[in-house]
Structure 1
Amino acid sequence: MISKQNIIPVITSMKGLEAFLRTSLKVFILQDVHINHLKDMIKMAHEAKKEVIVHIELIQGLANDEFGAQFLIQQLHVDGLISSKPKIIEMTQKNRCLGILRVFIMDSKSIKRSLQLIEAIKPDVVEFLPALIYEVFPTFINDIKAEVWAGGLVQTPYQIQSIFASGIKRITLSNLELAIKYAEFN
């Protein structure tokens, strides 16, 4: 499992990584970078005692499949992987790496399908998008055995408070300053 940090920033560039490394935050999500930069970015993070979760579907030049996941886990030693693909989550867990299933909620049917999928593959973590549907989270997240995160479109302190009040354990967001200001480590 990763460090107890309730807000996890998303880093999308070397400049963003350098800014993150100057913070007291321990965990981040890496996405929207080219595979050529990935090894150096992960190495920098690990040398600074930071934990790296990679969104495999959003790495340019990397296969979004089990082989890509194996490369990230076995060669680059990532701390966790995010994917919407069950096969990647299953392979990630077999390799003793944190498997985060990303799920998009659009309507009540997508909630039902998502709950069936979560029950079938048993990911370590489920991340729901968009986080701004926090008013409906209490109607279904209590039945999920995995840790539940939410992300997407979070921009204000009020939204952060409301999302946590709905029962979500961690929030992912792309605004590093907001993450620094509101992150807790318990």
Structure 2
Amino acid sequence: METTRTKQAALNHATFLERLAAHRMIASIKDPRHIETALSLRNQLSGVFLLTGHIGVIQGYVDVFKQHELPVFLHLEKIGGLSTDNYGLDYLAKVIKPTGIISTKTNVVKTAKKMGLLTIQRFFLVDSEGLDNIAKSLALSEPDIVEVMPARIPDIFDKVKAFTSLPIITGGLLYEPEQAESCLRHGAAAISTSKPELWKCIGSSLLTTR
């Protein structure tokens, strides 16, 4: 069973990294009404971050995205009724089976990775101390991908890239395509945003090429 989980995790990782390189835009879904929009753009998105729902409906959401071959990550602090202890994460990995998870908590990321889930650790930067905390947390949790927020400080990505080779996703406080483009120019691997109007900007040359 563990070998199967490891192989599936490696496949999920490789697939998602390929989509990150190809599309560089992630749909963060806070409103279930935006699920259809994301599905309609599935060939233009790297994947989906699900920030809505509860334990009673989340299986259905995940299944829909998987049916359309769109990688789906659950933000565990945003999903109602889902425990993040060992039992809850084991249930998530064995039954709900998303591509992976997003969490701000180092211990949750570390445990989820052991369960064979692709892991994204989200950090909020408010000062220079936060930058030091990223380095310390990454050494402990060893996530697959880093998400740094907010996106309106793109020059900070160079500092993060100085101590990790992991892909860096960014989002938060993005309102215009030009703001997303600035993040990509400064080294972000992809943009995550909950604004459907920005999901549709992926045709821009700056959003599709490095």
TM-score by length of 2: 0.81
Q: 1:143 aligns with which of 163, 170, 174?
A: 163
Q: 1:45 aligns with which of 60, 65, 74?
A: 65
SS at match of 2:208: coil
Q: Does 1:86 align with 2:106?
A: yes
Judged with a 3 Å threshold, the aligned counterparts in structure 2 of structure 1 residues 70 and 42 are, in CA distance, closer, same or farther, namely: same
Unaligned runs of 5+ in 2: 1-12
Q: Does 1:17 align with 2:41?
A: no
Identity fraction in percent: 25
Instruction: Tell me if the contact between 1:149 and 1:168 (Cα under 8 Å) persists in the aligned partners.
Output: yes
Instruction: Tell me if the contact between 1:105 and 1:128 (Cα under 8 Å) persists in the aligned partners.
Output: yes
Instruction: Tell me if the contact between 2:25 and 2:46 (Cα under 8 Å) persists in the aligned partners.
Output: no
Judged with a 3 Å threshold, the aligned counterparts in structure 2 of structure 1 residues 136 and 49 are, in CA distance, closer, same or farther, namely: closer
Instruction: Give distance in 2, aligned partners of 1:76 and 1:95.
Output: 13
Instruction: Tell me if the contact between 1:56 and 1:68 (Cα under 8 Å) persists in the aligned partners.
Output: no
More strand as a share of residues: 1
Unaligned runs of 5+ in 1: none
Give a deviation string over 1:57-105, Cα, whole Å, max 9, x none: 1012222433332222211110010001112111221122211111111
Instruction: Tell me if the contact between 1:66 and 1:87 (Cα under 8 Å) persists in the aligned partners.
Output: no
Number of equivalences: 186
Q: 2:125 aligns with which of 105, 129, 147?
A: 105
Q: Does 1:172 align with 2:192?
A: yes
Deviates more, 1:30-39 or 1:166-175: 30-39
Instruction: Tell me if the contact between 2:48 and 2:73 (Cα under 8 Å) persists in the aligned partners.
Output: yes
More helix as a share of residues: 2
Deviates more, 1:67-76 or 1:108-117: 67-76
Q: 1:72 aligns with which of 92, 95, 111?
A: 92
TM-score by length of 1: 0.91
SS at match of 1:57: helix
Q: Which amino acid aligns with 1:9?
A: A
